[in-house]
Amino acid sequence: MNSLPTPPTSASILVVDDEPDLRTLYELTLLREGYRVETAGSVQDAAQLLLSRRFDVMISDMRLPDGTGMELLLQLREQARPERCIVMTAYGSAENAVDALRAGAFDYLTKPVDLRQFRQVVASAIQGIGAVPTPGVAPSMAVDAANSRPLQGDAALKALVGESPAMQGVKQRIAKVAKGMAPVLVHGESGTGKELVARALHACSQRADGPLVAVNCGAIPENLLEAEFFGARKGSYTGATQDRPGYFQAAQGGTLFLDEIGDLPLAMQAKLLRAIQERKIRSLGSTQEEAVDVRIVSATHRDLAAQVQAGQFRQDLFYRLNVIEIALPALRERRGDLPDLCRALLAKLAHESGLHTPELDETSLAQIAQLELPGNVRELENVLHRAIALGDEGPLRLPPSMESCEATLSNQPSSSTLAPKPPQAATADTPAELPQDLQAWLDEKERNILVQALQDNGFNRTATATRLGISLRQIRYRIERLGIDLPSEGNKHHGDNA
Ligand SMILES: Nc1ncnc2c1ncn2[C@@H]1O[C@H](COP(=O)(O)OP(=O)(O)OP(=O)(O)O)[C@@H](O)[C@H]1O
């Protein structure tokens, strides 16, 4: 079967398809790429081959005469085999593809298979296996080699501070799903660390050497979305004086992180869905389509399922993005992580600002424990930033006049060691009735505070940021996120190429 000479360390691939012509086409395509190939026409034949040897990758059609590619995939997973699986599904059967990804397939291809895409997906599955094992070598080698990026991935996981059971679960899930191509949707309140999760997914994947492109979907003007995502050819719109790559091109071979995906307008959702399904994009003003090899990680603080119900988010796109979900806990659900978080954030802030790292003693921790912190870790970071900036030598103390904290102090009785807040400060801001939609309620509060502070500071963002104890980047981000219109200056920051 395998007649062409192959390099001694080439990867080995098993192709399973019952149509002899297609089998030959795939086999020849792969042999030309320098891989070693075996083929099988049924589940039984494939199982027989798998009994006798290991492969690096198995590519299987979904529908086979005596079963399904899914059965083979599940068998491999049950036996904890190292083969990466690519399944081929009929055009339009999105459910099969999603089910296969959920069951642990590395990736899927839609029939009729585009050979360029076929080569790309296989290359992507092989990439990161490292020193590709020759047949007969212990399977663990392939697994170890596939994990050949422990330091980068470890560092990114460590940046996600917190050892509470909820955070341990999140980190385990990241490590488990990082290696595949399945789209991941990260869900969590604002400030819970969704971007850190996306970075960890990228760093733990075999794409870690490729780019990570982070995009805030809510911050791009609607008329620029298409050009920003897919690129634009010179002259395609006023101001396009040269060819410009889009986020998809910039993320080629890496990860595209779509933050605030729930803010994407419906028209753009349709275009994004097409790009994800076809894995091809067309730059604005171009007649040519180009293939893209990008892993999609998206994030939202919204309830996307509810947005689907309300007709604000396309169900098919939701289905595509949400193949794997990672839910990030709010800080109030993991209060036990506060000491570790404070230590890590203080060290980071002190390093960034050149200020000393204050000691955290029981009193400082007790003070911090009194804060509700509805803005999660980002709010904790802001509180600590202000405390360092305003504090004296010695252990960290929250300044009694820390106005931005007043609203967040809990109603619980203050400890005598704390700088006590008048109870009315806490209750004045507490709604008579609990909000139906906490995030919308918090957004509204945040918006009012920002508008007030911007007005007080003549719409100078730097002065407003200083007044509120947050960084310029954060205030820009919040202004964009909450859609606050500034009288003179436009906000141009939307993509953030890491
Ligand atoms: N577990 C964590 N460990 C350390 N730092 C964290 C953690 N979670 C969040 N942070 C810090 O909090 C800030 C906000 O995090 P991040 O931007 O990832 O949140 P987010 O959930 O993406 O927020 P948003 O929805 O508002 O975009 C960042 O400075 C980040 O480094």
Q: Scan for tokens 């091809």, then name that residue.
A: 280
**160 CB less than 6 Å from ligand 1?**
yes
Mean per-residue pLDDT, 184-204: 95
pLDDT tens digits, one per residue of 74-109: 999 888 888 999 999 876 666 777 888 888 898 888
**378 CB less than 6 Å from ligand 1?**
yes
Chain centroid offset of residue 428 CA: 37
Cβ atoms of 88 and 17 within 8 Å: the answer is yes
Ligand 1 mean position, distance from CA 331 (Å): 11
Q: Tell me how far apart the alpha carbons of residues 428 and 415 are, in angstroms, rounded to a whole number.
A: 20
Mean per-residue pLDDT, 218-234: 87
Mutate to test the pocket of ligand 1, among 163, 187, 196 (most ligand atoms within 8 A of CB): 196
Q: Tell me how far apart the alpha carbons of residues 338 and 348 are, in angstroms, rounded to a whole number.
A: 15
pLDDT tens digits, one per residue of 42-57: 999 999 999 888 999 9
| Domains of the chain, start order | 12-146 (3.40.50.2300), 150-327 (3.40.50.300), 331-427 (1.10.8.60), 438-498 (1.10.10.60)
Ligand 1 mean position, distance from CA 389 (Å): 21
**443 CB less than 6 Å from ligand 1?**
no
**259 CB less than 6 Å from ligand 1?**
yes
pLDDT at 375 over 70: yes
Ligand 1 mean position, distance from CA 334 (Å): 14
pLDDT tens digits, one per residue of 290-326: 989 999 999 999 999 999 999 999 999 998 899 899 9
Ligand 1 mean position, distance from CA 189 (Å): 10
**442 CB less than 6 Å from ligand 1?**
no
- Ligand 1 nearest atom to the CA of residue 300, by list position: 25
Ligand 1 mean position, distance from CA 84 (Å): 32
Non-local (6+) Cβ contacts of 337 within 8 A are 161, 162, 163, 164, 167, 331
Residues 153, 155, 348, CA angle at the centre, nearest 5°? 150
ipTM score here?
0.98
Hey, what amino acid is at 356? H
pLDDT at 267 over 90: yes
Element at 299 (helix H, strand E): strand 295-300
- Ligand 1 nearest atom to the CA of residue 167, by list position: 1
Ligand 1 mean position, distance from CA 229 (Å): 24
**301 CB less than 6 Å from ligand 1?**
yes
**What pLDDT shows up at residue 32?**
81
**What pLDDT shows up at residue 151?**
53
